[in-house]
Amino acid sequence: MGRRKNLMESKGQEVLIRALKANGTDQRVLNAMKKVPRHLFLPEDMQSFAYADTPLPIGYDQTISAPHMVAIMCDLLKITEGMTILEIGSGSGYNAAVMAELAGENGKVYTVERIPELVDLARNNLERAGYSNVTVVHDDGSCGLPEHAPYDRIAVTSVAPEVPPPLREQLSKNGIMVIPVGTQYQTLVVVKKDSKGNITHKAMGEVIFVPLIGKYGF
């Protein structure tokens, strides 16, 4: 385990959680975010900003999403205990950790990352923070991760030109996927598959993410 939060960080997290609560974040998501030490997922020179509501650089031109964006995505996903979850874009591993908290001991998170150094970073961070129910896979996540499909929930943390067909296929019946989509403007889209396999899309609003690079990406 890494070092515990110092007093400043504890205070900062308290303020952050209060702000997310005021935004209407679900209590289960707040509890999960309270448990995950975001500073352990950041480079040392960024740790003092860990509980500010802002995206931060994690190297290789990539960013850890702002806490409110993690909260919004997790709210929309409605993750419950025991679910199998796929994330595309591990980055620091932070979002995967929050989802792992929500899925609980019997849940499982697979997270796919294309940059090898970030695969190592996410693995180390998750291990340091004590998450053993998350598996980090090095691959092009725009093709999903067919070997463990179907997934109850899919979270894509980079923007795609359109919803990659393999992700749609790998979503289970009654499943939910959250994915930023767009070229000039980016919209957060909730994709739902009903019990018969029919798909619906709902646009939730404008967002800013780094691009999904790969076969079904940019």
Residues identified as active-site = 65
* DSSP bridge partners of 202: 190
List, in sequence order, every residue forming a beta bridge with 189; answer none if it has no partner: 179, 203
The smaller minimum CB distance to ligand SAH, of residues 84 and 158, is found at 158
Place of tokens 């780094």: 210
Tell me if residue 180 falls in helix, strand or coil: strand
Give residues with Cβ within 8 angstroms of 87, minimum separation 6. 95, 96, 99, 109, 110, 111, 112, 154, 155, 156, 157
Residue whose CB is less far from ligand SAH, 12 or 67: 67
Shortest distance in whole angstroms from residue 218 CB to ligand SAH: 8
CB closer to ligand SAH out of 191 and 212: 212
Determine the straight-line distance between the first and last CA of the chain, rounded to whole angstroms. 37
Backbone angles phi, psi at 124, to 5 degrees: -65, -45
**Smallest distance, Å, CB 96 to ligand SAH?**
7
Q: Are 193 and 175 in contact (CB under 8 A)?
A: yes
Q: Strand 62-64 vs strand 187-193: parallel, antiparallel, or unpaired?
A: unpaired
Task: Kindly calculate the radius of gyration of the chain based on its CA atoms and give it in whole angstroms.
Answer: 16
Nearer to ligand SAH, 13 or 92 (CB): 92
Footprint of ligand SAH (CB under 6 A): 62-65, 88-89, 91-92, 94-95, 112-115, 118, 140-142, 157-158, 210, 212-214, 217
If the CB atoms of residues 99 and 191 are measured against ligand SAH, the closer one turns out to be: 99
**Of residues 200, 144, 216, 85, the one with CA closest to residue 32:** 85
CA distance linking residue 53 with residue 71, whole number of Å: 11
Check residue 194 and report its DSSP letter.
-
Residue 188 forms beta bridges with which residues?
180, 205
